[in-house]
Amino acid sequence: MKRREPGAAAAFGALLDRSMVQIEAVATDGRKFDREAVRWISDVWDNNTFALFGVAVAPTRGGRERRARAALTWMAGFGAERRAWMVRSAGLTGHRLEPLPTPEAVPGRDYRGVVRPRRVPLTADLAAGLAADYDLTGAQVRTFQVERAGDRLVGFVEVVAGRRFPVGSDDVDPAELEMWLDDVTEARFDSGDRSPVTVCAGPDGIVVGFGDGLIGAKSGSVYCDDSYWHLSGAGLTADRRTPPNGEHPARPAPLRRPEPLDGAALAAAMLLRGIMWEFRMVRYVGEVGAVPIAPLCRVFAGAGTQILAAGRRSGAERREEAFRRLVEEWLDRAGPALQHWLWRWLGGPADDPHIGESTRSWLAALAQQRPRPSRQGGESSLELPSQAELRLASYTAAHTRYGKEREASSVLNLAVPLHAEAAPDEPWKLRTLKIGNTGRFRLDTTAFDGPHRPQAIIEQDVVHSFTLHEEALTVRRTDE
């Protein structure tokens, strides 16, 4: 197919259209769910939805193109991964974005001029540096998590460790070392194992060990969440290599916004951004399955193209009418089953000072037609089917944060059939189980090998125990 170059504005709208397609693809079937992809793509539109609407309402084609080029350049400035996704996604819709500048990854400093840690690839040198700077022999695993991202296994381990370097005070919280593991090959974990932590990296991959347990992966990255990192060996090295503030490429400057949105365009923008925020809730593993992501993607299919078309209408009245019709179309697509998700974000614009009386009256009239919430009882969120496929298992040890004690807890994301008589080719839905006051958590990667029959003790909506696949996954409350 011949590539076309219709302009930056069209490319911007196509990115939103493609985002909806991508999110729907990884959210339709729970057995293929990719939580990180949903979180990452929806997060892009947190700061870019209003920019797209700003492009759409520019009064001239030249103005739309100038705003779109500035917005796309700003969007691409948040890292090479973001830029690569933009180029790839736009290319799939026939648009070229290669002329966008490639952002330079550089260390940074905070407002005090203190060098900041950043997430970096976990290499052999980095692993050796961690062992030199932090007391891994006395470290404890605070969070252990393995999940399927599409067909791949990925992991996350947070280790709490003391420092081997002086910080000038003994009354400080320990450092938190966060490790992301990609393409996990093996994982064995028992929350009862208090043995030392080891981190090894080399050409064959990464292994994080904890006594008899381990998690191995082909690659990974690490971030030192440590306010004293600048005093560590790695921090001192970075300090010597990092130019002072003002002498190195900074993050993208805030995008210069055009005049504020108003009327129905503002209502539509607040609605769409709110839906992206709903999608982004999957960053909290306990919220997975709470939002009907794939059906909502279908409601907003083609939204980027629609927004630009509405904005091209000449004259304020015609443009206002076009955005009203667009919101009404989204509500019609949602239907009674999904409209309440849209109304969570359509109520706010009425109080915005940029919403005029005419638009306020229109929103009020729409609200009068809002379907009544269904009061029918549905399936219990804790009712388990005969089959379940493990998508995520996460454990967090008991700890104190910000002066508040937190009990040990576990979260499980499961893909389960839509209903008892579901056909084999029907997509599965997602179910989340939360096990508070966790006394034991054991996981082996074989728990992720296909659907298994779950066994659980659930009383009065409290999960007391859960096992899967010959105890490859075992979770129990302390009182069990």
User: Is 382 part of any domain?
Assistant: no
Do 308 and 206 fall into the same domain?
no
Domain count, the chain: 3
Six token digits for residue 393: 């298992």
CA dihedral over 445, 448, 451, 457, signed as positive or negative: positive
Q: Which of 307, 336, 368 is the last residue of a domain?
A: 368
Do 193 and 260 fall into the same domain?
no
pLDDT at residue 1, as a whole number: 37
pLDDT at residue 385, as a whole number: 84
Determine the 3-state secondary structure of 393 from DSSP: strand
What is each CA distance from 345 to 88, 267, 327, 394, in whole angstroms? 31, 9, 12, 31
The count of C-alpha atoms lying within 13 angstroms of the C-alpha of 456, restricted to the half-sphere facing its C-beta, is 24
Do 144 and 232 fall into the same domain?
yes
pLDDT digits (tens, 9 = 90+) for 410-424: 999 999 998 878 888
pLDDT digits (tens, 9 = 90+) for 203-248: 999 999 998 899 999 999 999 999 999 999 999 999 998 888 766 5
Do 151 and 233 fall into the same domain?
yes
What is the mean predicted confidence (pLDDT) over 359-378? 80
Domain that holds residue 217: 120-241
Find the range with the poorest average confidence among 344-358, 365-379, 386-400, 442-456: 365-379
The count of C-alpha atoms lying within 13 angstroms of the C-alpha of 65, restricted to the half-sphere facing its C-beta, is 6
User: Is 289 part of any domain?
Assistant: yes
User: Is 134 part of any domain?
Assistant: yes
Q: Mean pLDDT in the chain?
A: 91
User: Is 466 part of any domain?
Assistant: yes
Do 127 and 180 fall into the same domain?
yes
Nearest to 15 by CA among 74, 75, 65, 70: 75
User: Is 68 part of any domain?
Assistant: yes
User: Is 139 part of any domain?
Assistant: yes
The count of C-alpha atoms lying within 13 angstroms of the C-alpha of 215, restricted to the half-sphere facing its C-beta, is 27
User: Is 90 part of any domain?
Assistant: yes
Do 348 and 408 fall into the same domain?
no
pLDDT digits (tens, 9 = 90+) for 346-355: 987 777 888 8
Residue 3 banded pLDDT, cuts 50, 70, 90: very low
User: Is 343 part of any domain?
Assistant: yes
Determine the 3-state secondary structure of 457 from DSSP: strand
What is the mean predicted confidence (pLDDT) over 295-309? 98
What are the DSSP calls for 311-374, one per residue? Answer: HTSSSHHHHHHHHHHHHHHHHHHHHHHHHHHHHHHHSGGGG-TTS-HHHHHHHHHHHHTPPPPP
What is the mean predicted confidence (pLDDT) over 335-346? 95
Do 233 and 285 fall into the same domain?
no
Helix axes 263-280, 303-311, angle to 10 degrees: 160
pLDDT digits (tens, 9 = 90+) for 83-92: 999 999 999 9
Do 363 and 408 fall into the same domain?
no
- Structural contact between residues 280 and 42, judged by C-beta atoms closer than 8 angstroms: yes
pLDDT digits (tens, 9 = 90+) for 425-448: 899 999 999 999 999 999 999 999
- Residue 16 pLDDT exceeds 50: yes
